[in-house]
A and B are shown apart, each in its own frame.
With several copies, the nearest count.
Chain A
Amino acid sequence: MKKFLNTPEAFVDEMLDGIYRAHPQVTHTAGDLRCYVTANPVPGKVGIVTGGGSGHLPTFLGYVGDGMIDGCAVGGVFQSPSSDQILEVTKHVDQGAGVLYLYGNYTGDIMNFDMAGELAELEDIATATVVGNDDVASSVVGEEHKRRGVAGIFFLYKAAGAAAAQMLPLTEVARITDKARARTRTMGVALSPCIVPEVGRPGFQIGENEMEIGMGIHGEPGISREPLQPADTVVDKMMERIFAETDYKTGDEVAVLINGLGATPLEELYILYRRVAILMEERGVTIRHRWLGEFATSMEMAGASISVLHLDDELEPLIAAPVSTPFFTHVGG
């Protein structure tokens, strides 16, 4: 295991200590480094709280900041935060307008957010929940509620954050976020495994010339393991699954996210994007917004994912809105 760390046990907390030392824009509450909150709360605004396992930077905590979300309960590597921690973050970010819980579809997280929501209710904090489930590979059409949440949650944070920044009420923020959720699809492909520090060895093996299409960000198995193919072919296979369950029409607009899983060079992400742009062009679909880089990683896993949000007139300006967090800046437009 080749990682820059001191001890596997201290991995998450020393990372957080580094983040707080680097970025005065964020802080923590309840005396717990893992209860991560914005230092610039907006009075009267709906709070947005996320949470989940560590090991996916900038997901999840990286989206806490101006114009995006307000707090994040930080779990151990690939582990849910506790309901107590979620509750503490909830109490801290609540500005009287209630709190949206927005996180990925994993059993541990669901159970802990549910528990936290029950506890928050006892403290008279209203909560609503939207659970990201964009990973097309993880279940079939009709069983979307079983799908995992992966990089596409970025769009949900963006939409939710912009809606909340407009001072909309909780129900509206939740409705809009849920619409973004329903219109977001992601396909991933992995080339190498990653190592959870406390485990110390890879969670799975993959051959020197193999790729796994549809693999999850914790190494969950995908749709097919195949020999690595030319980049355009890989994109075609991934986009085929997305096109199969979306109804893009000529003139429609989308936002695209090309996400590196951790060890894939940015050069290669642009080669993937090129093909996505060609496929969209062929369909007469405009890529109105696009981001390339690392948005939801699996530590040192090699691979990439493609997320597409089908825009509409309500979502487009929210996705375009400016935001600034320590990990992600968008100047707007």
Chain B
Amino acid sequence: MALTADHTRAFYTAWADRFAAEREALIALDGQVGDSDLGITMSKGFAAARDAVAAAPEAGIAEQMKLAGGALARAAPSTMGTLMATGFLRGFKALDGADTFGTGQAATFWRAFAEGVAQRGKARPGDKTVLDVLDPIATALDGRDDPLADALEAATVAAGHALEATRNMVAQHGKAAAFQEKSRGLPDAGGTVAVMLVEVMRDVARQL
């Protein structure tokens, strides 16, 4: 079943809840090879995104993404906050006018999201960034035509594997880059966020 704008609204509440719950875990994760702010920025950013979407009951599927992107950019202008903002804004552009959100739209959304992040962050695959999880998510959804929940389940599994694979990479960007070899063995913090993003989307799709 494809979702309507009334359904996709639930994504934003669920993301806000999830990142509120993961606040401490993400602080700890970013603290290992970063500056410990990831839990703060993600919980703040997605709370703001939820509020922005909730404040616009008329907003369509794509507009919700635009509102969320703007809210993220303002409330969480850290590296990940800005990248997530860019991703949602690209999603808005790619899906502008869409009435439903099914497997095809999900594939379009995640591809646009990943490309926006790639352009904004100038990272390449293998640099141990969020991109190393976003890209496999988009690829997993590419050309599928099974129901949304099933497709997102596959994407979630791919995301999990991709995150595991970041353990063997050495960070090339952001504050983690300074840790060099010490970053090896740890999953990328931004990639962990990407896994949560797609997990939550899958859970919401399942329940509807």
Contact = CB atoms under 8 A, between A and B. Distances in A.
A and B are partners in one complex rather than unrelated chains: yes
Contacts of B83: 111
Q: Give the secondary structure class of B's interface.
A: helix
A111 B82 contact: yes
A261 B166 CA distance: 34
A79 B35 CA distance: 10
Interface stretch (B2-10, B141-149, B169-177, B196-204): B169-177
A71 B86 CA distance: 25
Contact of A107 (B37, B79, B179, B182): B79
B175 A220 contact: yes
Contacts of A75: 77
Contacts of B120: 111, 114-115
A22 interface: no
B77 A112 contact: yes
A78 B175 CA distance: 11
Interface residues of A, number: 29
Interface stretch (A159-167, A196-204, A305-313, A316-324): A196-204
A89 to B, nearest CB: 13
- B: contact size bracket: 20 to 34
Contact of A82 (B27, B37, B77, B79): B77
A111 B178 contact: no
Interface string A119-154: 000000000000000000010000000101000000
Contact of B77 (A83, A196, A199): A83
B104 interface: no
B40 interface: yes
B11 to A, nearest CB: 22
Interface in A218-262: 218-221
Given A107-B121, A196-B36, A196-B37, A81 B77 contact: yes
A216 interface: yes
B100 interface: no
Consensus secondary structure, chain A interface: loop
B82 A219 contact: no
A210 interface: no
Contacts of B189: none
Contacts of B168: none
Contact of B78 (A83, A108, A198, A216): A108
A216 B178 contact: yes
A83 B78 CA distance: 11
A78 B174 contact: no
Contacts of A220: 35, 175, 178-179
Interface in B7-43: 27, 31, 35-37, 40-41
A80 B37 contact: no
- Return the 5 tightest CB-CB contacts between A and B, nearest first: A82-B77, A220-B178, A108-B79, A107-B79, A80-B77
Given A108-B82, A203-B31, A219-B35, 15 more contacts: A75-B77, A79-B37, A82-B73, A82-B74, A106-B174, A107-B121, A107-B175, A111-B79, A111-B121, A112-B82, A138-B178, A196-B35, A198-B40, A216-B178, A220-B179
Interface of B: 27, 31, 35-37, 40-41, 73-79, 81-83, 86, 120-121, 173-175, 177-179, 182
